[in-house]
Amino acid sequence: MIEYPSEPDTPRSHLPFSPSTKLGDLIFVSGQASVDATGKIVSDTFEGEMRRSMENMRKVVETAGSDFAHVLQTRNYVQDPADIPLFNKIYREYFSEPFPARTTITNCLGTALRYEVECIAVAKPKA
């Protein structure tokens, strides 16, 4: 059975998609951008947008019963290739070795966003 984990403070979009879906122990997190709790885009520097996006993703992953240590793969969308060195620096603050599998695409977002991230995670084992 497919689940759609959500809490009142889970970041939401006005677009037609769920923040995450869960099937068994697999968690699929939709793209998380620099948005507030209502889905309104919050423009910022690349670093500010990336950190807000990562924290939004953290909330969605935790709501689904996991954490960043159980992320299997990330897909990252970076508007400006010049931001890749900063992206790698900040990414290391959220993930450590062994790193999740990763794809990073540049020159792919419209003018409203500098960064977006999505992931696949596995639920934390029950204690």
* Domains of the chain, each with CATH number or no CATH: 2-122 (3.30.1330.40)
Whether 7 shows a pLDDT value over 90: the answer reads: no
**Cα distance between residue 49 and residue 54, in whole Å:** 9
pLDDT at residue 14, rounded to an integer: 79
pLDDT at residue 20, rounded to an integer: 95
Per residue in 37-77, pLDDT tens?
888 899 999 999 999 999 999 999 999 999 999 999 999 99
Helix (H, G, I), strand (E, B) or coil at 32: strand
Angle between helices 84-94 and 46-63 (to 10 degrees): 30
Q: What is the pTM of this model?
A: 0.94
pLDDT at residue 88, rounded to an integer: 98
Sheet containing 20-23, strands listed edge to edge, beginning at the edge strand earlier in sequence: 2-3, 20-23, 26-33, 115-122, 71-78, 101-106
Helical segments of the chain, H only: 46-63, 84-94
Whether 125 shows a pLDDT value over 90: the answer reads: no
Pairing of strands 71-78, 101-106: parallel
Tell how far CA 77 is from the center of its chain.
10
Q: What percent of the chain has pLDDT over 90?
A: 81
pLDDT at residue 42, rounded to an integer: 92
Type of residue numbered 81 = P
Q: What percent of the chain has pLDDT over 70?
A: 100
Helical segments of 3-125, H only: 46-63, 84-94
pLDDT at residue 37, rounded to an integer: 82
